[in-house]
Amino acid sequence: MKRLSEKYIHTKEIDWKELGGGVSRKFLGYDNQIMMVRVKFEKGALGAPHQHFHTQATFCASGKFEFEIDGEKKIVEAGDGVYIEPNLWHSAVCLEAGELIDTFSPVREDFLSGDGVSYFGDKN
């Protein structure tokens, strides 16, 4: 199935999708090859340990997070980036409320379909 977002995404016109546990998201653009997602975390919110076959690159737009990727922990703050190879176990704990911009390749079909369980514990 061909997936394609709108050309322009004005986030102030889109409601946050609550994922539970102090995490919410907005889609910023996608097609079958790539997806960008804005994810908002409250202090203490957790991106539980998980893995997926997608390549992931994350930009920390604000806040402070402790990431763990393949057993290695690092603190990430506003302006920092994270690269996650496919199939590596990873997680994040929000130390100071903030937002991450996640980019995935290929598109996260599970995020769009609502059929799967997200790594935040709730239905997509």
Least confident of 37-41, 45-49, 63-67, 114-118: 114-118
Residue 45 lies in a domain: yes
Other Cβ atoms less than 10 A from the Cβ of 32: the count is 13
What is the reported pTM? 0.90
pLDDT above 60 (res 124): no
Total structural domains within the chain: 1
- The pLDDT value given to residue 116: 43
Residue 107 lies in a domain: yes
Residue 101 lies in a domain: yes
- Per the structure, the complete domain to which residue 87 belongs is given by 17-113
CA-only gyration radius of the chain, Å = 14
Best CA proximity match to 63, nearest among 92, 84, 43: 43
d(CA 57, CA 93) in angstroms, rounded, equals 17
pLDDT above 80 (res 122): no
- The pLDDT value given to residue 78: 98
- CATH assignment at residue 59: 2.60.120.10
Phi, psi (deg, nearest 5) at residue 92: -150, 140
Residue 8 lies in a domain: no
d(CA 22, CA 39) in angstroms, rounded, equals 10
